[in-house]
């Protein structure tokens, strides 16, 4: 959701770009624009495409969105779609897109990640579940030639609305596919990760998304336009986080921006917006979809699936994780990404073998639905794998231990008290990517980490070349012992696949990339250190005191091949992806430039302070 402006609309447009003729939609569908009244009287603008072929009845496939259901007007047809894929558009459904409350042409007040109301005090109390219910009820009563079944889908923020349709779902809703769903913005999606504020993305996204007119409008004007050529340089010169509210930028007009900064702990604001707690007694079949290279909502897909499994174990709940960036499974082709070649069109596979068959089976009684509980892409072998559970059952817990001289071993080595240290300087933060970029470099999630390894403020640990393939599947947790001369610190942990020195360069190779010794990022995550024990109650570090720290990272499915090395890097800044920590225990949104201070950080690796990475390896 909180993605970069250009990248977001790029994917939204591509989601419907399937090479159909320019007249396909007009020739095959009749368009209705309707304002549907909710139980509290608020009218939501809804665009409906009904197949002209009335020889059969059709199910309804709906998306609810804060990003505009347009084009508006019954004579203005979309030139793409109208479904989420060419296959579904040609298959023929009744397609419905709705502007959610307070967005674009819908009435009402928009609330960021509208909290779910578990107990409705009056018949007119609303949330996204009730708005979905009321919309479905109207559609069933007013649209001709439907078959009485409804499906819900959506990517990113629309993925949240798909998840939000599941609690107390209308009986007609039979199939729901939350795709890259925004799920818990403080713990792992968009706004913050483990409490650390994702500066660059939120600054760009909220510059337009946070412009909220007082009445329905077809188009929004951004709050401001920042001319950024080098994001690292721009945000470093911007200085303290509160400077984003200067007259040139948010100027205290960004309601959501201010809410994000005012709520620096996991308080009721964030907890009420965590949709996971509402995913109980789920009745529709669910297909949760995510991408291993999704810079926005990797957390959301994994944790939405997990929440349904734990709270509604009887639900027909399935997971798909592919080698995709945010929404890339909806593109016409996704056969490669950066230096990675997947050997097949993974987007086509998803659309043909999973998404189409899922909705056809549950909404049309058409074909078979034999997909596994989890269909997951191994990013080390470029192969689809299927599992009876996720994480897989046939895995064993293992530990990779940080050792002296940058070594990483499967066994703890008994040696004298030891540590490695670096100086973290907020005025010279470690960049998240190598190079100059105006906006987020989307390839940072697979990028060569040698640029970071060369810095003195990044610690690196690596194994010897592997004697056999090692497949890691499931959760990762870095558990280490650290000390700092400050009272707060960020910790970024990276899992890296180090390619052998004889690895050939890719072909073709327009950027003259060398893959010999390439340190390919597999997974990374940040923890704002004051939240190491509790997101609700932050704790200062005691200077120079050894402290137990755990960083939970998103899951992986990655095979480190024979001859490769496994590497772990630790650092304390990831700029400007994440805002700078002044390394002083305080509300960072209130920090002045004078509050930012250098800290000496130590990571210990002696037996009694055994720092390591918990992994799950599939048994050979």
What's the confidence (pLDDT) of residue 20? 65
CA end-to-end span of the chain, whole Å?
38
Of 564, 581, 568, 602, which is closest to residue 453 (Cα–Cα)?
568
What's the confidence (pLDDT) of residue 497? 98
CA torsion sign, 316 to 190 to 330 to 81?
Answer: positive
What's the confidence (pLDDT) of residue 488? 98
Of 139, 126, 3, 168, which is closest to residue 63 (Cα–Cα)?
139
State the DSSP code for 350: I
Over residues 591-602, mean pLDDT: 98
Of 468, 615, 503, 602, which is closest to residue 555 (Cα–Cα)?
615
Q: What is the pLDDT of residues 488-533, one digit of tens each?
A: 999 999 999 999 999 988 777 777 788 999 999 999 999 999 999 9
Q: What is the mean pLDDT of the chain?
A: 95
The 10 Å Cβ neighbour count of residue 359 is: 29
Distance CA 470, CA 73 (A): 56
What's the confidence (pLDDT) of residue 260? 98
pLDDT at residue 14 tops 90: no
What's the confidence (pLDDT) of residue 509? 76
Over residues 24-48, mean pLDDT: 97
Give CA separation, 59 vs 94, 136, 144, 154, in Å: 6, 12, 11, 17
Over residues 7-28, mean pLDDT: 60
Q: What is the pLDDT of residues 244-280, one digit of tens each?
A: 999 999 999 999 999 999 999 999 999 999 999 999 9
Q: What is the pTM of this model?
A: 0.96
pLDDT at residue 6 tops 80: no
pLDDT at residue 617 tops 60: yes
pLDDT at residue 382 tops 50: yes
What's the confidence (pLDDT) of residue 603? 98
Domains of the chain as residue ranges with CATH: 5-184+273-387 (3.40.50.1820), 395-618 (2.60.120.260)
What's the confidence (pLDDT) of residue 469? 97
What's the confidence (pLDDT) of residue 416? 60
pLDDT at residue 15 tops 50: no
What's the confidence (pLDDT) of residue 606? 82
Over residues 393-409, mean pLDDT: 95
The 10 Å Cβ neighbour count of residue 344 is: 13
Q: Please say whether the beta carbons of 128 and 99 come within 8 A.
A: no
What's the confidence (pLDDT) of residue 87? 97
Distance CA 115, CA 126 (A): 10
State the DSSP code for 265: S
pLDDT at residue 13 tops 70: no
In 74-226, alpha helices (H): 86-91, 128-142, 157-164, 199-209
């Amino acid at each position: 959701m909180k993605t970069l402006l250009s990248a977001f609309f790029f994917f939204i447009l591509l989601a419907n770009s399937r090479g159909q003729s320019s007249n396909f939609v007009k020739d095959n569908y009749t368009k209705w624009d309707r304002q549907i009244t909710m139980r509290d009287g608020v009218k939501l603008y809804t665009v409906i495409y009904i197949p002209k072929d009335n020889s059969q009845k059709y199910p309804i496939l709906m998306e609810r969105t804060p990003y505009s259901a347009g084009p508006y007007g019954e004579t203005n047809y979309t030139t793409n779609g109208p479904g989420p894929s060419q296959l579904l558009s040609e298959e023929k459904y009744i397609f419905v897109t709705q502007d959610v409350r307070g967005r674009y042409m819908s009435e009402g007040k928009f609330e960021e990640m509208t909290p779910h109301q578990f107990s409705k005090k009056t018949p007119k109390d609303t949330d996204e579940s009730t708005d979905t219910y009321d919309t479905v009820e109207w559609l069933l009563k007013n649209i001709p030639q439907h078959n009485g079944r409804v499906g819900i889908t959506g990517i990113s923020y629309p993925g949240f609305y798909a998840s939000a349709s599941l609690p107390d779902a209308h009986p007609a809703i039979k199939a729901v596919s939350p795709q890259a769903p925004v799920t818990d913005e403080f713990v792992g999606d968009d706004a913050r990760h483990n409490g650390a504020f994702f500066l660059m993305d939120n600054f760009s996204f909220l510059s337009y998304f946070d412009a909220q007119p007082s009445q329905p409008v077809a188009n929004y004007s951004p709050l401001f336009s920042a001319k950024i050529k080098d994001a690292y340089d721009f945000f470093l010169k911007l200085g303290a986080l509160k400077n984003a509210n200067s007259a040139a930028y948010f100027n205290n007009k960004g309601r959501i921006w201010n809410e994000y900064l005012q709520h620096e702990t996991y308080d009721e604001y964030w907890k009420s917006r965590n949709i996971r707690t509402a995913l109980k007694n789920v009745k529709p079949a669910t297909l949760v979809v995510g991408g291993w290279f999704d810079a926005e909502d990797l957390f959301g897909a994994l944790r939405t699936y997990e929440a349904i499994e734990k709270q509604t174990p009887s639900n027909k709940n399935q997971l798909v994780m592919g080698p995709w960036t945010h929404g890339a499974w909806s593109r016409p082709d996704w056969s490669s990404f950066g230096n990675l070649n997947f050997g097949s069109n993974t987007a086509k596979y998803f659309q043909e073998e999973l998404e189409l068959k899922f909705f056809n089976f549950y909404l049309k009684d058409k074909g078979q639905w034999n997909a596994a509980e989890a269909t997951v892409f191994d990013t080390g072998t470029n192969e689809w794998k299927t599992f009876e559970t996720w994480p897989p059952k046939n895995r064993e817990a293992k530990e990779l231990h940080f050792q002296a001289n940058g070594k990483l071993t499967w066994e703890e080595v008994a040696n004298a008290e030891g540590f490695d240290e670096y100086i973290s300087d907020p005025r010279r933060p470690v960049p998240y990517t190598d190079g100059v970029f105006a906006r987020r470099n989307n390839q940072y999630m697979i990028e060569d980490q040698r640029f970071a390894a060369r810095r003195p403020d990044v610690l690196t640990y690596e194994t010897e070349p592997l004697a056999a393939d090692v497949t890691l599947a499931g959760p990762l947790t870095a558990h280490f012992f650290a000390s700092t001369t400050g009272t707060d610190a960020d910790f970024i942990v990276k899992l890296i696949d180090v390619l052998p020195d004889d690895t050939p360069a890719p072909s073709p190779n327009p950027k003259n990339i060398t893959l010999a010794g390439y340190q390919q990022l597999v997974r990374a995550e940040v923890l704002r250190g004051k939240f190491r024990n509790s997101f609700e109650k932050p704790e200062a570090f005691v200077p120079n005191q050894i402290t137990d720290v755990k960083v939970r990272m998103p899951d992986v499915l990655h095979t480190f091949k024979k001859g490769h090395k496994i590497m772990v890097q630790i650092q304390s800044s990831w700029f400007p992806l994440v805002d700078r920590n002044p390394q002083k225990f305080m509300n960072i949104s209130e920090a002045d430039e004078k509050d930012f201070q250098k800290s000496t950080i130590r990571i210990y690796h002696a037996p009694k302070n055994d720092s390591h990475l918990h992994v799950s390896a599939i048994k050979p």
